[in-house]
Chains A and B, each alone.
Chain A
């Protein structure tokens, strides 16, 4: 198994190189001179040439790309045009916020989607089924930027019970240990900080998790319904097991493999959704960083972020493959 995962990890490297190449090629289409991001337009030609040389922009794009690859292999993604700091440092500082949000959103999706799907699948045609169906289609079709705006309008603007954006109230004074605020608050025994962070996390996580919730509900419903017609379920019933036990231990467990697959597949959509949700809620993660990077044409930052996003996506799908072997003992990876 170790060999299998090492192979998969190594196999991801050429993909990442091509992804970087595509983004690099796209950058060549960008209008204007990258130097204008670094120095004012009134600067003399000599100064511009100096800046160009200092940032390596005077070289042909192919050489720039190869240079980038050589450095990236050592974890150096270059300097951000805008922040004048190493891209990797900026990204790593903001990564925990996005991971925390994505995990919370997945949790929301799973905690709502699975029970709803199981209830609907166990009693097709019931009120639960209609409810789950309505809920899931609404969830799948919901534009997350709209939902975010509406929830801010209600919870922050109208009822004043939740904050409208950001990750923590000003002056919370929580030391960063892991970068995950909820975890940091627990580690420092700060109940007030935990509650404050949770309040800030609630709306973005619900909004980001809604699409995935809809998909999980539908898939769980279909899988449970199918599993309930299988022979092993009939055997379990014939053995005299309780309905709940048959449903959860036998039918649901078999449905779980599909659900886990869909979480992996949808995680990519969750990452893209995070760009929008983070922008709506002023969440200081890498999604809003990318949107800002694009508007300020911070090329090194953009390419670094695209690669980080792609790497996370590939890693999550690898983890999902690993999860299969735990959920379904019949699956053995060679």
Chain B
């Protein structure tokens, strides 16, 4: 194979790759936009109130022309409306976990990486302990003992999510610490706080954005798992995981009760994962140089 031919092939490949990245990012952004729209405008989008029961209309199959497009559940609540309202919990949890986990993880990671020494050792020990729980196990223990509720679920899911942020930020801070522009800032007498705010944080921002996309995907799936196990938010609030939990008892008679809420979880999480992947291949200098 001659050199020029393989170079040409590489060019074509790179074009394909960019195409694919664009598709992934587009799909991800679309899912994020749909989720946001459903959450913000649920009262206007949903054809019925989410908890309105109509026992006369229980377990109606999907009917594209009728009043219950995606069918109804075992007590006659509209599946579509519950999916639309259920997006609120997913949205709040994903947003809150991403904010708290990134704030905690980045703060600890920068402090550990910048100051080193015993501070670093202490934070590393903390990471080791929290990481030794299998994922979700700590969240389950927290919710099981402390009680149910939106706030507790957020704390429970944040309890381990800060760790990836901490690890990555620490490693990047250590790498940055010895770079010339940081050393010169130090020589000029800049304070630790100034250097961290103006030089370290902007440089770790891209990794944080990429990780946040994955963290949101993870939080949505973890919240639905907790709700599915009956350990999430109180049952009066519609959630996708809770709908699936209800569906289990009617699995042989009402497949639509299981299909649509799960599809909502799957598509949302898929969107976040694809978005994260697209951002990573866009920002990661190692991938870009190929």
Question: Residues of A at under 8 Å CB distance from B?
Answer: 15-16, 18-19, 22-23, 26-27, 29-31, 124-125, 133, 137-138, 140-143, 145-147, 149-150, 152-153, 157, 268-269, 271-272, 275-276, 279-280, 290-291, 294-295, 302, 306, 309-310, 313-314
B132 neighbours in A (Cβ, 8 Å): 15-16, 19, 310, 313-314
Contacts of B142 in A (CB 8 A): 26
Give the secondary structure class of B's interface: helix
Q: Which of B134, B145, B230, B274 contacts A310 (CB 8 A)?
A: B134
Which of B128, B230, B274 contacts A295 (CB under 8 A)?
B230
On chain B, the residues within 8 Å of A147 by CB distance are 262
- B219 at interface by CB-CB < 8 Å: no
Q: Do A23 and B141 form a contact, CB below 8 Å, given A29-B146, A125-B13, A149-B248?
A: yes
Chain B residues proximal to chain A, CB less than 8 Å: 12-13, 16-17, 20, 128-129, 132-138, 140-142, 144-147, 217, 221, 224-225, 228-231, 241, 244, 247-248, 251-252, 255, 258-259, 261-262, 265-266, 269-270, 273-274, 277
Given contact pairs A272-B137, A302-B141, a sample of 13 additional A-B residue pairs in the complex whose CB atoms are under 8 Å apart: A18-B129, A125-B17, A142-B266, A143-B265, A145-B262, A149-B244, A152-B251, A153-B258, A275-B229, A276-B228, A276-B229, A294-B144, A309-B137
B145's partner among A29, A269, A280, A291 (CB-CB below 8 A) is A29
Contact present for B134 and A313 (CB under 8 Å): yes
Taken together as a complex, chains A and B put the C-alpha atoms of A296 and B228 apart, in Å, by: 17
A-chain residues with CB within 8 Å of residue B277 when the two chains form the complex: 137
User: How far, in whole Å, are A157 and B270 apart by their CA atoms in the complex?
Assistant: 27
**In the complex, what residues of A have CB within 8 A of residue B128's CB?**
15
Chain A's closest residue to B143 (CB) is A294
For the complex, what is the distance from the CA of A16 to the CA of B132, rounded to whole Å? 8
User: Contacting B273 at CB < 8 Å: which of A15, A29, A140?
Assistant: A140
Note all chain A residues with C-beta closer than 8 A to B228. Answer: 145, 276
In the complex, chain B residues whose CB is within 8 Å of the CB of A26: 141-142, 145-146
Closest A-chain residue to B217, C-beta based? Answer: A141
| A15 vs B133: C-alpha distance when bound (angstroms) | 10
Assess the A149–B144 pair: CB atoms within 8 A.
no
Chain A residue at minimum C-beta to C-beta distance from B227: A145
Picked from A29, A140, A143, A294, the residue with its CB within 8 Å of the CB of B231 is A294
- A291 to B241: give the CA distance in the assembly, Å: 16
Pick the 3 closest A-B CB pairs, nearest first. A146-B262, A272-B136, A141-B270
CB neighbours of B231 from chain A (8 A): 294
In the complex, the chain A residue whose C-beta lies closest to that of B277 is A137
**Contact call A310/B133, Cβ cutoff below 8 A:** yes
Q: What B residues does A291 contact at CB under 8 A?
A: 229
Pairs across A and B, CB under 8 Å, 22 listed: A18-B129, A19-B132, A23-B141, A29-B145, A29-B147, A31-B147, A125-B12, A125-B13, A141-B217, A143-B266, A146-B266, A149-B244, A150-B259, A150-B262, A152-B251, A153-B258, A271-B134, A275-B140, A279-B229, A306-B133, A309-B134, A310-B133
